[in-house]
Structure 1
Amino acid sequence: MEIVGFVQCSIIKWNQKAVLELDSALNEWIDALPDFCNYAIQLKDTVLAHQSVMLHAGFYWAQIQVHKQFMSWPGQKSALTIHSLAICANAAHSCVHLLDHHQQYK
């Protein structure tokens, strides 16, 4: 949650370095989750399944928060802008898929 707090501070000057550092920190965080928090595993424990969904949905939300700031600059056309757009689209798609899957199998 420190990452999200950092993202939401209005005094942050968004640049490529900040976006890359935050993206890296988010990926390190999700990769460091223990195996039992992995939603891909068929979880029998309903509480654990809900918690896993919330962790992953929060991750996707944080990815969007990080990258939407960078790609919203008017006239900005760079490889990172396109990369940020792709990450936002993928995070939104993954979150919808996660929630849909969870709703079907809960």
Structure 2
Amino acid sequence: MAEQVRVPDDGAGSSEFFSFAHTYNGYELRDGFEPLAAVAQAVRERWERTGELGDDVDQLRACLFFEARAFRHGGYGRFDQRPIVAALVSRIRSLSGGVVPLRGTVA
């Protein structure tokens, strides 16, 4: 059985959200930057248009990973205060029951 990681609670804070995002290696699991960006963009656009994120935990984790990488390369403020980030973590927790498999890491 794959190692499991806990999905942070809503009030966990920026560093815990950021660390959790990196328990899914989107570059590896989505075959590189371009396919990862396409998944993240589709999830984000749906959320912006409808307020819904969907039910595919893998896609949601890919989007969260992409958001974390974008934040690392030019974000400001607090990662956990970004509305899409909070929504993604909450939805992942809801769908997964609070734990997900470790799917690679990126420092």
The TM tier, using the shorter chain, reads 0.3 to 0.5
TM-score (norm 1): 0.38
- Give the number of the structure with larger relative contact order, counting CA–CA contacts within 8 Å between residues 6 or more apart: 2
TM-score (norm 2): 0.38
Which protein is richer in strand relative to its size?
Answer: 2
Over alpha carbons, which structure has the higher Rg?
A: 1
